[in-house]
Structure 1
């Protein structure tokens, strides 16, 4: 193989490796964007579920208070 052919092969090889690197970078950027979007959706869902838990805990506390009040009234009827 002549020096010119070797140089051409080396250049072709380098070009191919650079193209692969560019494709890899593009794919990784797309994956990163998808992951960031997925994380944002997950954070929104966590916030929604956290608020739902707070609401349910508040409702449970109110129901417990009402039941305790009713039980107190039943106790008063039993004593009378």
Structure 2
């Protein structure tokens, strides 16, 4: 499985990426080995992710999310949280 994800950084900024091991990648970000951007903004929190069959699909979605305005990214996060609340 491949994932596109959004992290919320300590400074409130958002970081979008993709991976094939979500748990390991978030841990790498939090140890300073993930991305240059998140290294100085730790700790980070996983606030959104989507699953894809292929790396190419995940990378395409990562690009699309990175093109979005911050308010639209926050809306993705809000809708996911709302859906998660309903499923509990």
TM-score with structure 1 setting the length:
0.25
Indicate the structure with greater strand content. 2
* Greater fraction of residues in helix: 1
| TM-score, scaled to structure 2 | 0.23
Question: Which one scores higher on RCO, CA 8 angstroms, separation ≥ 6?
Answer: 2
